[in-house]
Structure 1
């Protein structure tokens, strides 16, 4: 069958095709828009770590089942009182070295122990120092527990000194000190201008 341009039968065909073209165009436009929106959402979620497993971003720690909102360290289990002449390292390249440094102390207020170890004290800036080393705590019955530590200290203008540190005990604690096996502790040191020193250590539970 032939169609004539000036015939009367071509207009119904055009009227029939035009709605189909419009519908097809609209469908293609919606499909492309949905695809672009999905790709944008995926890109944004990847940038913010939305798909990273086991990641939490919460302000209220109470919403996590077993995590307390506050940390109560309680009474220090280990205390030392001693005399020490405060002296800051001379420069960053000349650290203070303490070899076989020894003090005595009390565990849980009753158990007498000796503490001996080595540490390095390195100057950073603004009278701030970084300390690291290891110590062994020993009872008079030769029970012992050893730990490695790191700390940040601050020298005051009046020849006072304070530091805060973290101690990690090894797996070989024995006897009355066996409770320190594989434990982590926090400690604080404070020395006054006259050289009177206090050392307090808390178990982190």
Structure 2
């Protein structure tokens, strides 16, 4: 039962079937019979776990298990305490209200790889970085949350699922590694 940690590059589709205009997981991973445990949209980067074990896949990705997922978001604008409080307490996005989350403003991470293509930045509008940890994972949730507090997301990188992170397993975009079985035990123990 392989458990693969993959650093998904920007604009890569989270599928193995071909796509008419974009790269897919099949362009990077040739391990047979593995599937992503959760997804990242094409505009998001970072940690993706893949496995051939359906129960494990469900355990990692299903919101019922409340597996925390941590993201770094580069946002357009300056962050204030009111915005952080709103994000922490849950936001009504129209079709659902987000669960409370952990969020803090951080300095630009110096260990993070440059994005290709680079982020569009405007000299007259500052950018800020947030670290957000959520236990849900609805479609484009983090982007919708930051937009709701007037901080449009420019770049979104998932860096951790539970205790498994790209900080402890540094991989460049497109690289992957098989995770040590002891880390799988720690992941399951989070519940």
Shorter-chain TM-score: which interval? under 0.3
| Greater relative CO, 1 or 2 (CA 8 Å, sep 6+) | 2
Give the structure-2-normalised TM-score: 0.26
Q: Which has the higher strand share?
A: 1
Give the structure-1-normalised TM-score: 0.25
